[in-house]
Structure 1
Amino acid sequence: MLIAQISDLHIQQGGKDSELIQAAPHLAACIRALNRLAPRPDLVVVTGDLTEHGQKEEYLLLKPILEQLDIPFVLIPGNHDSPATLREVFHDHDYLQSPSPFIQYAIDTWPLRIVGLDTTVPMRSEGALCAQRLSWLADTLAQAPDTPTVVLMHHPPFETGIKLMDELGLLTGRDAFADIIAPYRNIERILCGHLHRTMLCRVGPTVASTCPGTAHQIALDLDPAAQALHFNFEPPGYQLHWQGAQGLVTHHVAIGDFSGPYPF
């Protein structure tokens, strides 16, 4: 199976930095790049921060752009999203619809089981996994302990070294999350967003990774005394997760027009 991951789309209608960031054209360029891939991915996973303000108008702008994908896609919310509005606009995505306040699901129709875990806190930037969500995760993993599984979540379950982003990270439930996944050797990867950069970290028996943003990136700053957070326009990107003989192999791909390819 081949999975493409995109993240942190931040589609917006007006507001701070909207003219500078140009999120919609960047996303459209990403989708064109994905549609050109050969072999084509089986699935695209979008790991949160679909919009900037969680407004219905932003989701209505986002939906037709995403629907230009020639590939099935699944969504999870990020801290900039409104779960209720996401469900309303993407009403045709059955896996999003449940009476729970959290957008969580397990999809068993692919060679890899897809488990979506909601880390968002209403009106807050940091993430959390409360007892209810952790219980759901424990029950869901126990249902298929031998099936190769990918877990999707917006906030990564590890510190990154970018101080000001770590202060807005998964602040509650991170250790309990690691305890829950500890017995499972079938979790191929934990795919996250939020950091707008590619990062990798071992978490329990598996690897958690973050994906670059499609519109802008968080500036790399590992200064423990940093006082301000910045973004920049390093090349936007996506990731391809290929299921090989030893498990998932991840490729970071920059979006843009580059010279080549040239034969060796």
Structure 2
Amino acid sequence: MLIAQISDPHIRPAGQLYQGVADSNRMFEEAIDHLHGLDRKPDLVLLTGDLVDDGRPDEYAQVRHLLAKLTIPYLVIPGNHDHRENFRAAFADHAYLPAEGALHYCIDDHAVRIVALDSCIPGLHHGGIDAQGLAWLQRTLETDRIKPTLLMLHHPPFMSGIPYMDTYRYMDTAPLEAIVRSASNIELVLCGHVHRTMLRRWAGTVVCSCPSSTTEIALQLAADAAPASFMGRPGCMLHLWNEAHGMVSHVSHIGKMQGPYPFA
């Protein structure tokens, strides 16, 4: 099974730029075209939050317009720039999304089980999951301790070392970590939020963050570093599951490169 992941497109109303700089709508279209042009078609696309920039209905209308071009089945979760109720209304035809409350769900129709968590706290930018959501996760994981499982949420559940990102990270990770650690069949935890790829061993599994299809947040590790981003190379992730070999993840850069050349 090949699972593609796109994150943090920050879609704007038609004709408007993200942060006055990036044409996030065009770049999202290019990301969709990129998936369609891969030499192996993904079986599923995961969109791990911040689909839009301000959570406004006109932005969601635009993202649905752009997603209409995607010919691959896809699943969505919100990010801290999304508005939960506007998000729910925009994707009302996605029957897997709960009709009320946090947008946690489980999809068990594929070779890999997908468990999605809504790590957003309405009105705030840092992440967390309340006791009710954690109890839902515990029950959901307990129903199948064998099938390979992929967990996705927007906020990475660890410190990145980038100070201006860590101020609104997933804050209280210990309860989530205990639940995840109890499920040995979680192959991978996917997230977005940081607009760059990071890997960390956590809770007995591996966490992988996805680059943005728009801008790249600067890798600055000094404690007094000021927030900064680049118009870096946009990308997505490809997560390849094989029953014999498990899960392997690749960064897939979006856009034209020199080549291909006849060597490897």
Q: Does 1:236 align with 2:237?
A: no
Give the distance between the partners of 2:164 and 2:87, measured in 1 at CA: 27
Q: Percent identity?
A: 41
For residue 204 of structure 1, what is the amino acid of its counterpart? A
Aligned residue pairs, count: 261
8 Å contact from structure 2 (residues 17, 23) kept in 1: no
For residue 8 of structure 2, what is the amino acid of its counterpart? D
TM-superposed deviation, 1:116: 0.5
8 Å contact from structure 1 (residues 212, 236) kept in 2: yes
Q: Residue 170 of structure 1 aligns to a residue in which SS?
A: coil
TM-superposed deviation, 1:38: 2.0
Runs of 5+ unmatched residues, structure 2 = none
Q: Residue 132 of structure 1 aligns to a residue in which SS?
A: helix
For residue 75 of structure 1, what is the amino acid of its counterpart? V
For residue 150 of structure 2, what is the amino acid of its counterpart? V
Single out whichever of 72-81 and 179-188 deviates more from structure 2.
Answer: 179-188
User: Residue 38 of structure 1 corresponds to which residue in structure 2?
Assistant: 39
8 Å contact from structure 1 (residues 214, 237) kept in 2: yes
Q: Residue 239 of structure 1 aligns to a residue in which SS?
A: strand
Deviations 1:36-69 (A, max 9, x none): 1121000000000000000000000000211211
TM-superposed deviation, 1:224: 2.1
Over aligned residues, Cα RMSD in angstroms? 1.3
Deviations 1:209-263 (A, max 9, x none): 100000111011011232x211111100000000133321001011111121111
Moved over 3 A (4+): 14-19
Give the distance between the partners of 2:34 and 2:88, measured in 1 at CA: 27
User: Residue 217 of structure 1 corresponds to which residue in structure 2?
Assistant: 216
Give the distance between the partners of 1:96 and 1:191, measured in 2 at CA: 18
Distance 1:248 1:190, change over 3 A: same
Mapping of residues 118-157 of structure 1, within 5 Å: 118-157=118-157
Distance 1:165 1:15, change over 3 A: farther
Q: Does 1:73 align with 2:111?
A: no
Q: Does 1:164 align with 2:188?
A: no
Mapping of residues 176-191 of structure 1, within 5 Å: 176-191=175-190
Single out whichever of 251-260 and 190-199 deviates more from structure 2.
Answer: 251-260
TM-superposed deviation, 1:202: 0.7
Deviations 1:134-186 (A, max 9, x none): 111111111111111000100011111101101110013x1111101112111
Give the distance between the partners of 2:232 and 2:121, measured in 1 at CA: 29
Runs of 5+ unmatched residues, structure 1 = none
